[in-house]
Amino acid sequence: MLQYTLKRLVVTFFVILVVSLVSFMLIRVSGDPAIALAGEGATQQEIEYVRHHYGFDRPLIIQYVDWAKKALQGDLGESPYFNEPVLKMIRERIGVTMTLGVSALLFALFVSIPLGVLASIRPNTWIDRVALTISVMGQAMPSFWFGLIMIIFFGVTLRWLPISGSGSPAHYVMPTIALGYYATPAFMRLIRSGMLEVLSSDHIRTARAKGLRWGKILYKHALRNAIIPVVALAAVQLGFMLGGSIVIESVFALHGIGYLAWVSIGRSDLPVVQAIILLLSMIYVVLTFLGDLLNAFLDPRIRVR
């Protein structure tokens, strides 16, 4: 187990390194940051000043090493746009994003578990098909579009829910559904196949033979076994949710780090973009790493491989 953990840890480290390097390079080649920072209509003199002031005139690799060195020491730099430490900006906004991510994940589980169980009880019937359709629709619809449709329906037509902002828990309802719905198919299919496998196994037959109630068998004997891989997947999906919140946060004007990333890309606020990519990729990688460990812990076969 220890050897496996170490191996995964090394891989994790390299993934973070590569992600940060690639994103650093991609952002720089997508347009001159000095021009973007100086603003529309800036003179050449102003642009040159910005370029020199923020060190964009140095070779790329030196800029990267410089940044990485500081990042390792926990210094993510200052946003040239806001003149504020990036770390402070992220700290102020991460709460919104985390709230959204976790509630979206809970929503996804809340929808997909009953659907998955239903589908597995009556496989290949219309119930199965309907459950599948409901969940696949979540993945097929772009989340921003689904968000806007909900705004029109629940916000404008019915006027049940507030449309934008993060003032009250009600403000999180639509963003949570828009974001969480996207993750339901993965969970639902995992539960469905897990349940099917478990339901056909011997101990279920024994339980039924003993005359236990069907509901109790489903819940105590089948679902509890089938749900184990879901726990690991949930960790990974949470990473997805945090990334997906970039779009959802701007649609619903939630001022979290996803929204911050989006606007920062537009104005080439590189230290901020860089830090958020690093943070999100780290969260994602760490969650995947924990998911791997959890799986290995639950299923000894993985460790051997």
Partner 1 sequence: MRKGWRKVLMGVVATVITVVFVAAPVQAGKKDDTLNIAFTKELETLDRYFNTAREGIVFARHVFDNLLWRDPKTFEYKPLLAKSYRWVDNLTLEVTLRKGVKFHDGTEMTADDVVYTLNFAANPANKVKTQRYSNWIKKVVKEGPYKVKILLKTPFPAALEFLSGANPIYPKHYYAKVGPKKFGLKPIGTGPYKVAEVEPGKRIVLVKNPDYFKDSPKGQPHIGKIVWRTLPEKNTQVAELMTGGLDWIWMVPPDQAKKLAAMPNIKVIAAETMRIGYLTMDAAGVTLKHGMKNDPFTKLKVRQAVNYAVNREAIAKNLVGGQSKPVYSACFPSQFGCTQDVVKYEYNPAKARKLLAEAGYPDGFTTTLYGYRNRDFAAAIVGDLAAVGIKAKLVMMKYSALREKLRGGKVQFAFLTWGSYSINDVSAITSNFFEFQEDDLARDPVVRDLLLKGDTSIDPKVRKEAYRKALQRIAAQAYWAPLFTYVSNNCFTKDLDFTPYPDAVPRFYQARWK
| Window 125-154: residues binding partner 1 (CB under 8 A) | 148, 151-152
Tell which residue, 166, 151, 139, 152, has the closest CA to residue 244.
139
Question: Binding string, 159-198, against partner 1, x = CB under 8 A?
Answer: xxxxxxx--xxx--x-------------------------
Give the binding range for partner 1 (CB under 8 A) out of 29-37, 97-105, 125-133, 190-198.
29-37
Cα 109–chain centre separation:
14
Cα 245–chain centre separation:
7
Query: Which is closer to partner 1, CB of 147 or CB of 239?
Result: 147
Give the binding range for partner 1 (CB under 8 A) out of 60-68, 156-164, 181-189, 290-298.
156-164
- What does the H/E/C string look like for 279-305? HHHHHHHHHHHHHHHHHHHHCHHHHHC
Give the binding range for partner 1 (CB under 8 A) out of 32-40, 54-62, 111-119, 187-195.
32-40
Please say whether the beta carbons of 131 and 116 come within 8 A.
yes
Judged by CB under 8 A, does residue 238 bind partner 1? no
Tell which residue, 33, 92, 95, has the closest CA to residue 67.
33
Query: Which is closer to partner 1, CB of 33 or CB of 229?
Result: 33
Q: 263 φ, ψ to 5°?
A: -70, -30
For partner 1, the binding residue among 11, 121, 263, 282 (CB under 8 A) is 263
Query: Which is closer to partner 1, CB of 53 or CB of 70?
Result: 53
Please say whether the beta carbons of 192 and 116 come within 8 A.
yes
In the complex, least distance from residue 14 CB atom to partner 1, rounded to whole angstroms: 31
For partner 1, the binding residue among 2, 3, 41, 301 (CB under 8 A) is 41
Judged by CB under 8 A, does residue 251 bind partner 1? yes
Judged by CB under 8 A, does residue 83 bind partner 1? yes
Query: Which is closer to partner 1, CB of 168 or CB of 200?
Result: 168
Judged by CB under 8 A, does residue 36 bind partner 1? yes
Instruction: Count the alpha carbons within 13 Å of 96 in the hemisphere toward its beta carbon.
Output: 26
Question: Binding string, 266-305, against partner 1, x = CB under 8 A?
Answer: --x-------------------------------------
Enclosing H/E stretch for 78: strand 78-79
Instruction: Count the alpha carbons within 13 Å of 72 in the hemisphere toward its beta carbon.
Output: 9
Cα 14–chain centre separation:
20
Q: 79 φ, ψ to 5°?
A: -75, 120
Enclosing H/E stretch for 84: strand 84-85
For partner 1, the binding residue among 8, 16, 46, 98 (CB under 8 A) is 46
Q: Report which DSSP code applies to 269.
A: -
Kindly list the residues in this chain that would bind partner 1 in the complex (CB under 8 A). Answer: 30-33, 35-36, 39-41, 43-44, 46, 81-83, 148, 151-152, 155-156, 159-165, 168-170, 173, 250-253, 255, 259, 262-263, 268
